[in-house]
A and B are shown apart, each in its own frame.
Chain A
Amino acid sequence: MRSSNPIFKDFRFWCLALSLLALLVMALYPTQIQKRPVYKLTFVVDITRSMNAEDYSVGDKAISRLEFVKLSLRELIGKLPCQSQVGLGVFTERRSTILFDPIEVCSGYAELDKSIDSLDWRMAWAADSRIAGGLLNAMSLLRGKETTLLFISDGQEAPPLNSRYRTDFAEVKGKLKGLIVGAGGLQPVVIPKFDAKGQRMGVYGPDDVPHRSSFGESDLNPEKIEGYDARNAPFGKHAATGSEHLSALQEGYLQQLAAETGLAYHHLQTEAGLEIAIKSPEFALITDSEADIRGYYVLLVLLLLLSIFY
């Protein structure tokens, strides 16, 4: 390089040369490996009747727990980073079933959106709502698969639980990460009733539902039961009364289940809250992904070009 050449003294030449060099380097190294959290989730949604209780609202309109859960999940899948995966299952009676294994959220967004939207209480293959059983079943189905369980329920066991017969989670405790999501409000509300054709026909009344478990041995102290007979009337001679026809989120019960299973608990109130609960580091899988860093090179080039023409 001859320093006498005036071109080499001009900063504009160096700016152009540097720009070209930056673009060349950019062509060679356009991306950078970055660590990024992705999520692999399986939603298991309670589709029992109490999920039809309408204690959420969107705008001025009251909507059912199930509808609100569907809205929240559909919004959530749009907010998960690409390469995250989502699978879907439903729970009723005492069992859960997986409709499909996790699929990638960006390429499968339309499919996920449609299948979540199609969840319906009429998909339930049997009545009853044995939440602990369904949770245990979901956990053993997903055990060994690297996925985070999102078990969404209002916590209302129907018929009510007999505390003598508790589900034992020892087998699956801590084997699976996940979140129990409580859906519903804390004030008891009525549960809508539908006929065989799906037409709404009022609400469940006190006479429509069992108010206590009458299965097996009584969990009460026999001396305190009126009309107790060990063989013929282990639960006493009177019909139970109660408010099982109304439904509220059984938060205490779900929190207790969460403690027994080693899952976390979250009360579903807003979609944003659910998103925060899920994007906790506990559930994140860290993956390497290639991030586009061409913008930085180009900004440098822009500054250089502007300095020439300014």
Chain B
Amino acid sequence: MAVPLLRSGMRIKPYPWLEMLPVDPLSQALAMLIRLLGMAAIGALFLGLSGLYLKEQKIERMGHGANIVLLLDRSNSMDNSFAGKAPSGSEQSKADAARRLLNEFVDHRPHDLIGVAEYSTSPLFVMPLTENKQAIRAAIDATANPALAYTNISKGLGLALSFFDHQTVSGSRIILLVSDGAAVIDPDSEAALRVLFKQQQVRLYWLFLRTDNSPGIFAEPEDSRDDNAQSMPELYLHRFFSSLNIPYQAYEAENPGAMQKAISDINRLEQLPLHYQETIPRRDLSGQCYGWLAGLIALLLGLKLCEV
């Protein structure tokens, strides 16, 4: 960028208007002025040509928002309706309902950083924490594709927690788990998850989409023989989350309406003040440069017209 500037400086040094110069101070001053204006005009021209811009800036602001990881269940059962059947007619599958409501949720959270992780038998890293709402919606929309296999929740949780590694931005850290079932977490993973949840200072929301006739999160077993993680994984997962000593809230939804309510509840709860960085995109200044160029040329033209 500097090269054209230097060159332009050199080029206009040969002083052109000698023949116009009568020997008097005013004219000399004017001639000087003309030369300066010419230099300035060429300077502005090169600045504009070289694409002068104001760098992208980050401004720290206070707002309402959070760092949210959406952890979505992609197990086969999510493609069924809340009645536990393949959706027919106007019925919505659980995944459809979740997709619609999550998209609305994302629209209501302008300042949040949102990331997306999915899990079935294995965890799937989908989208890092980002402000790019178009990208998040693209990830949520892609859950319209058929679901995958089984439910392996511990790996999913591990992946979701890893989103907050090396992340220094302030604001609350939230994992929003959307699932329609739970699975047994083996003791090793349980211990590891306990440590991670503590370290990462995460707030956990579990939106449980309960299918008709299945035990819910809060159902205590009627028969003590059923009181084990294998037969009541949801209850045991709920107990595990409650025992983590982290802010935790579970919602059980049997229909899209209840889901809607839970999501607006989370939306309302997570309006804590947050320092966030607002990115001001880089501004192109070449327009301004050309404006100056035009002004300077107009001045030169004005001086020219004053010429006697």
Binding site for B on A (CB under 8 A): 7, 10, 12-13, 16-17, 19-20, 23-24, 26-27, 87, 90, 95, 97-104, 107-108, 110-111, 114-115, 118-120, 122-126, 141, 294-295, 298-299, 301-302, 305-306, 308-310
- Cα A302 to Cα B146 in complex, Å, equals 61
Main secondary structure of the interface of A (DSSP, over half): helix
Stretch at the interface among B115-123, B172-180, B250-258: B115-123
Number of interface residues of B (CB under 8 A): 47
- Residues of chain A contacted by B74 (CB below 8 angstroms): 97
Rounded to whole Å, the gap between the CB of A95 and the closest CB of chain B is: 7
Cβ contact of B42, chosen from A97, A295, A302, cutoff 8 A: A302
- Residues of chain A contacted by B138 (CB below 8 angstroms): 87, 100-103
B24-69: which residues lie under 8 A (CB-CB) from chain A?
35, 38, 41-42, 45, 48-49
Q: Are B300's CB and A125's CB within 8 A? A: no
Cβ contact of B134, chosen from A107, A295, A299, cutoff 8 A: A107
Q: List 8 A-B contacts (CB under 8 A).
A: A20-B301, A97-B124, A97-B148, A99-B124, A100-B138, A100-B139, A101-B141, A102-B138
> Top 9 closest A-B pairs, CB basis?
A118-B125, A100-B139, A125-B121, A114-B128, A23-B294, A101-B138, A100-B138, A16-B301, A98-B142
Cβ contact of A107, chosen from B38, B132, B290, cutoff 8 A: B132
Cβ contact of A120, chosen from B116, B125, B127, B141, cutoff 8 A: B125
Closest to B123 in A: A123
Q: Are B124's CB and A310's CB within 8 A? A: no
Q: Are B142's CB and A101's CB within 8 A? A: yes
Cβ contact of B298, chosen from A7, A20, A104, cutoff 8 A: A20
Stretch at the interface among B11-19, B197-205, B226-234: B11-19
Q: Are B127's CB and A100's CB within 8 A? A: yes
- Cα A297 to Cα B196 in complex, Å, equals 60
Q: Are A126's CB and B142's CB within 8 A? A: no
Q: Are A308's CB and B16's CB within 8 A? A: yes
Q: Are A23's CB and B290's CB within 8 A? A: yes
Question: Provided the pairs A101-B138, A108-B132 are in contact, do residues A309 and B12 lie with their beta carbons within 8 angstroms?
Answer: yes
Rounded to whole Å, the gap between the CB of A128 and the closest CB of chain B is: 12
Q: Are B142's CB and A87's CB within 8 A? A: yes
Q: Is B130 an interface residue (CB 8 A)?
A: yes
Q: Are A310's CB and B42's CB within 8 A? A: no
- Cα A75 to Cα B126 in complex, Å, equals 19
- Cα A103 to Cα B126 in complex, Å, equals 13
Q: Is B268 an interface residue (CB 8 A)?
A: no
- Cα A26 to Cα B293 in complex, Å, equals 12
- Cα A96 to Cα B74 in complex, Å, equals 13
- Residues of chain B contacted by A124 (CB below 8 angstroms): 122
Rounded to whole Å, the gap between the CB of B5 and the closest CB of chain A is: 13
Q: Are B42's CB and A7's CB within 8 A? A: no
- Cα A23 to Cα B289 in complex, Å, equals 11
Cβ contact of A305, chosen from B41, B134, B146, B149, cutoff 8 A: B41
